[in-house]
């Protein structure tokens, strides 16, 4: 009988030793309440700041890049084109650059006739030729099948060789880059007729990009030639 009691007591001690002293349930108790001492974002060197290193950059990214060195270089009233020239040794993005033509018949006395498309560039020491929408407009004796270089190379409206003309080129940041002016405003820009309409020559900067506008032989999309004559600044009639 004593042997049986001893065996029962021994078994009780074994079961008591196997039972955990302080059972825990995942997610409960002090040892697992917050493994990281209340910080649910361990290792985050910048807690609470989701814009690390980018403060103020958003506005900078939205600002147009500064552009310099692009010039109105050659214009033709006969063939109705405007040529741009890059005087620098680097390719320039034309995105957002625009041309303003003064015309007193328009609201505000002027209008934007062309805006550079996204991804449009001008090569270093290179040329970009823009052509009038009139070339494809039957109402302006144009050919509906006229082949432009692309839709991005078209400026709206015409360009007259016998009227007073004022055209400006701007960067996307609204900084004036270049201008061409023939005659005075008088009764209004693009309203005064009677100027010599020289269809054999173009209004060309000589030398390219930096010289004064003079008459020269047409060199559409290429370096301008030598000066032929000065451009008349008063109407003949």
pLDDT of residue 58: 47
- pLDDT number for residue 45: 52
Q: What pLDDT was estimated at residue 207?
A: 98
How are beta strands 165-170 and 98-102 bridged, if at all?
antiparallel
- Which pLDDT value is given to residue 198? 96
**Mind listing the pLDDT tens digit for each residue in 28-82?**
444 444 444 444 454 555 544 444 444 444 455 667 778 999 999 999 999 999 9
* Number of structural domains the chain divides into: 1
- Asked if the structure places residue 53 within a domain, the reply is no
- Comparing 22 with 147, the larger pLDDT belongs to 147
Quote the pTM value.
Answer: 0.74
Q: How much is the pLDDT for 66? A: 84
Decide if 44 is inside a domain. Answer: no
Q: Kindly report the CA angle at 233 between 230 and 236, in degrees rounded to 5? A: 105
How far apart CA 119 and CA 24 sit, in angstroms, is 64
Q: What is the pLDDT of residue 32?
A: 44
- The predicted pLDDT at position 135 comes to 98
Q: For position 33, what pLDDT does the model report?
A: 44
Q: Long-range CB contacts (< 8 A, 24+ apart) of 215-219?
A: 216/74, 218/74, 218/76, 218/79, 219/74
**Percent of the chain whose predicted confidence (pLDDT) is above 70:** 73
Q: Which CATH number covers residue 166?
A: 2.60.40.1260
Burial tier of 193 (Cβ tally within 10 Å: 0-12, 13-18, 19+): middle
Q: How much is the average pLDDT of 218-236? A: 97
126 within a domain of the structure (yes/no): yes
Which range marks the domain in which residue 102 is found? 62-229
pLDDT in tens, 133-182: 999 999 999 999 999 999 999 999 999 999 999 999 999 999 999 999 99
> Hey, how many other C-beta atoms are within 10 angstroms of the C-beta on 124?
13
**235 belongs to a structural domain:** no
Enter the tokens of residue 86.
Answer: 């890059």
CA distance 11 to 67: 92
- Residue 69 belongs to some domain of the structure: yes
Any domain includes 116: yes
Q: Residue 209 domain-assigned?
A: yes
- pLDDT tens per residue, range 192-201: 999 999 999 9
Give me the pLDDT at residue 64, please.
76
- Alpha-carbon span 129 to 43, nearest angstrom: 57
The reply to whether 188 falls in a domain is yes
- Residue 74 CA to residue 202 CA, distance in Å, equals 7
């Amino acid at each position: 009988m004593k042997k049986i009691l001893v065996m029962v007591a021994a078994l009780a001690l074994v079961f008591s030793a196997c039972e955990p002293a302080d059972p825990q349930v995942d997610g409960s108790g002090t040892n697992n309440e917050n493994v990281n001492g209340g910080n649910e974002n361990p290792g985050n060197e910048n807690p609470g700041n989701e814009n690390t290193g980018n403060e103020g950059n958003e506005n900078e990214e939205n600002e147009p890049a500064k552009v310099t060195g692009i010039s109105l270089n050659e214009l033709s009233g006969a063939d109705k084109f405007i040529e741009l020239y890059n005087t620098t040794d680097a390719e320039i993005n034309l995105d957002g650059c625009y041309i303003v033509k003064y015309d007193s018949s328009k609201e505000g006395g002027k209008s934007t006739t062309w805006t550079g498309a996204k991804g449009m560039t001008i090569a270093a020491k290179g040329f970009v030729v823009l052509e009038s929408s009139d070339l494809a407009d039957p109402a302006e004796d144009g050919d509906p099948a006229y082949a432009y270089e692309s839709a991005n190379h078209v400026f709206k409206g015409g360009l007259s060789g016998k009227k007073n003309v004022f055209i400006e080129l701007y960067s996307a940041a609204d900084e004036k880059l270049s201008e061409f002016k023939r005659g005075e405003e008088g009764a209004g820009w693009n309203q005064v007729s009677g100027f010599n309409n020289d269809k054999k020559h173009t209004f060309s900067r000589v030398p390219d990009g930096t010289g004064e506008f003079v008459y020269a032989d047409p060199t559409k999309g290429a370096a301008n030639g030598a000066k032929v004559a000065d451009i008349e600044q008063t109407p003949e009639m």
